[in-house]
Every structure is written in C-alpha cells, then in structure tokens.
Amino acid sequence: MVYLYDPLLQVHGVQLAIKREDMLHPVVSGNKWRKLKYNLLEASEQGYKRLLSFGGAYSNHIHALASVGKELDFTTIGVIRGESFAADNASLADVRRFGMQLHFVDRHTYRRRTDIDYINALQNRFGPCYLIPEGGSTPLAVKGVAELWQEVDEPFDYVALAAGTGATAAGVIQAAPVATEVRVYAVLKGAGFLSHEISAYLSDRSRFSNWQLFQEYHFGGYARINPRLVAFMDRFEALHAIPLDPIYTAKMLYAVYAQIRSGEIAPGSRVLAIHTGGLQGRRGMEERMQILRTHHDYRYE
C-alpha cells in the first residue's frame, strides 16, 4: 500500500492510498488472481484438469487463466469473442504461448455464453471442462477477493474500486468494515444492472448498506477513453510512477480525484483506492492513447 503525495490532494486535505494489487504476481495480477483462486481449488477438488472460459481479444481474465493454467498444469480453453484474425494481438500471442486452446466465435454466438444448450455443446466438443464464467465472476471469486482486506491494517473512510461485473466489488463490500464506505465506479455505460449483480453476490444483503455505485465515469463505455482521461493518466503516472490501465483503474482514480475536488469526498477523509491490475490489456489501447495526446482537449485541469 502506497500513500500518494499530490498537491491536488494536499489542497483538499485528503489522504489517498493505493493498494497495489497489480504487484501480486508478474502475470496473474490484481483481482484476476483473487477471483481465480477458489475456482481453481474447486476444479481440482472435483477432479477437473480442463478449464474453459470466455473473453474478448484483450481479456485480462483469459490472459490470467491461461498463465495460471500453465503453472498449475491445467488444460485451458478460451472461447474468444471475434474473428480469428484477432489472434495476431500481443495478448493472445501470450495466451497461445501459455498453451491455451483458442476457439473464436462471432458476437451472436458469444452472447449465448450462459445458455445451457450452448455450454453443453462446448462440453461435447472439448470434453468435460470446469466452466469459469466471463471475467471469472462467481461466488467463489467473491470469497477470494474478500481476502484482500486481510492485508489492510489501517482505517479508511472510503475504499474505491472499478467495476465491470460486480464480483470484485461484492468481495470488498463483504470484507470492509461497516464504517468504511465502498465506492464502486462502473466502467460500462448503462451499468445500472450492477446494483442487482453486486447485491446478488452478497451473502446477507440486509447487512450491507456500506456502498454506492457511480455510473457517470465510464467515458463513453467499456474500453472507451477520451483525451482528458489520457491526460489524467499521464499526469498521475509521471507524478507517482504507478502504471494504470485506461479501462478500469484510470477511470476509478479520475472519479476519486473529481469527487475530492468537488467536496463529495470531504476534506480530512482517508481514501483507499484498489489497483485491480489489468495492465496487460493496456497494450490494446496504446495506439488510441497516442492519437488522443495530440487532441486539443488533451488536458487535465
């Protein structure tokens, strides 16, 4: 955990620390390892040696699953959204080197990833597989994420994290002290469904009222960015030497800074931001970010 020293924070009297989950493992970093841990233990206990999951061409989850599968001697299969030409990207080159078998499907077919008939067809094609949903999000994933709070030994008024599926948020909400408000920043456009998804993961919903979902910091939707977000990332990385990913962590930190500046996070507050990793996926955004650096709106004020 690292405390950030930043003139913008000092002006508002807020202490901001960042939990470097991105440093958990050289490849399987951040919430991806937390979410996979108990799923892999369950697969092993049930006698499975083959894992199957779903993701996009730069999926952090697919990348992590392929790596940990190689380390733990699981056969891995990735059902990838998109045409096979996507295999030329750096992320899937890693995945293939880790030994994952890739199965490319069109977007219509990919939308069937939770359909039982489609799942059965995949099991018939590849043999008995332990199925891990897209993003690794299961109740077992929530259990794994909750363990990160065992490494937090200081009190905080707020904990902040980005959300795509809600499992990471649910794990943090379950584990955080009642006095700590969990602020969840959606990276998807139209993410109101996340309130239901997060609530569904919580073991006793009536006990957990210590969280809020914020939907206004998605920058246009999943994997969408703009010049202002890139300018914020560049300033943050230059000042703190902590790399960010533009899909999740940069959006969350931008939101935290915005709420500090507006007073929504009050002066004197102690805030813990969780860096959920995902840095390998940044490779798919570098060209776009470089173009946005030349845009007239490239500034963070």
Same domain, 279 and 205: yes
Count CB neighbours of 220 within 10 A: 10
Among 101, 128, 155, the domain boundary falls at 128
Strand order of the β-sheet with 101-105 is 101-105, 75-81, 50-55, 130-131
**Domain match, 207 and 240 both:** yes
DSSP E strand stretches across 89-226: 101-105, 130-131, 158-163, 181-186, 211-214
Per-residue pLDDT tens over the stretch 235-255: 999 999 999 999 999 999 999
At residue 89, the pLDDT reads 86
pLDDT, tens digit, for every residue of 59-99? 999 999 999 999 999 999 999 998 876 667 889 999 999 99
Q: Do 144 and 114 belong to one domain?
A: no
Residues 143 and 280 in one domain: yes
Where in the sequence is the domain holding 66, given as residue range(s)?
A: 49-128
pTM, full prediction: 0.94
Two tokens, residue 68:
């940990």
Q: Which DSSP state fits 205?
A: G
The closest alpha carbon to 246, from 217, 216, 274, 281, belongs to 281
Q: What is the pLDDT of residues 256-285, one digit of tens each?
A: 999 999 999 999 999 999 999 989 988 889
Instruction: Print burial letters for 22-57: b (CB count within 10 Å at least 16), e (below 16).
Output: bebbebbbbbbbbbbbbbbeebeeeebebbbbbbbb
Residue 226 zone, left/alpha/beta (φ > 0; ψ -120 to 50; rest): beta
* Residue 262, strand partner residues: none
Give the residue from 70, 95, 128 where a domain finishes: 128
